[in-house]
Structure 1
Amino acid sequence: MEGIRILLTNYVHRLTADVRRSSLDSVPSRKEGYTTKTAPPPPLLYTIPEAATALRISRTKLYELLSKNEIQSVHIGRSRKIPASALRSYVHRLQAEQEEGDRNDPPR
C-alpha cells in the first residue's frame, strides 16, 4: 500500500511540474516584447452601416444626408466610405444650429 502511495505522489509531482513548466514557457518575457492589451485606434473611414450606427440613424436617412451633401463621403474603388471627420463635423454643425435656435427662441 505504501508503494502505491509513493508512486501516485511521484506521478502527481511530475504532472504538476510539467504543467508549471509548460505554462511558464508560454508566457513571453518583457525582453520578447510582452505587450498589454490596448484598444484599437478608432477607424478613419466608416462603411455606410457603421456610420449609420455611429449616428444612431437608419441607412436610408444616412443616404438622404449624403445626397443632400450634409455629410461628405469618399469613394475607394466602388466602395463609399464616410470619414470620421465628416461625422464629427456634421454633429458639431447640428449642435451649433441647435444652440443658435435656442438663442433665437423667446423665453416662455
Structure 2
Amino acid sequence: MPPIVLTIPEAVTASKMSRTAIYNALKDGTLCARKSGRRTLIPTGELQRYIDALPPYTGKV
C-alpha cells in the first residue's frame, strides 16, 4: 500500500525537488501540509497537485 502522507525528507526524495523548494512552497501556500506533533506531513495527492501545477518546460531561457 503506497503512503498517503510524506515527511519533508520523503517529499524531497519523491519529488526530486530541493528541501528549500519544498519549504518555500509551503511558506507561500502553494503546497499544503499538516502537522502531527512536530512532524510536517504532506499528503501525496497534495504533492502531486503541486507538481502538476508547475509551469511546463518550454526550452527557452
Fold shared by both chains (TM-score > 0.5): yes
Q: Which runs of 5+ in 1 are unaligned?
A: 1-40, 103-108
1:53 aligns with 2:18: no
Instruction: Give the structure 1 partner of residue 26 of structure 2.
Output: 66
Query: Aligned residues, how many?
Result: 58
Amino acid at match of 1:66: L
- CA–CA distance in structure 2, aligned partners of residues 85 and 48 of structure 1: 14
> Which structure features the higher share of strand residues?
2
TM-score w.r.t. structure 1 length? 0.49
SS in 2 for 1:80: strand
TM-score w.r.t. structure 2 length? 0.82
Deviation at 1:98, TM superposition (A): 2.4
Q: Give the RMSD, CA atoms, in angstroms.
A: 1.6
Q: Deviations over 1:23-47 (max 9, x none)?
A: xxxxxxxxxxxxxxxxxx1100101
Q: Which runs of 5+ in 2 are unaligned?
A: none
The structure that has the greater radius of gyration is: 1
> Which structure features the higher share of helix residues?
1
Runs of 4+ displaced beyond 2 Å:
none
Work out which structure has the larger RCO, using CA pairs closer than 8 Å and 6 or more positions apart in sequence.
2
Deviation at 1:89, TM superposition (A): 0.6
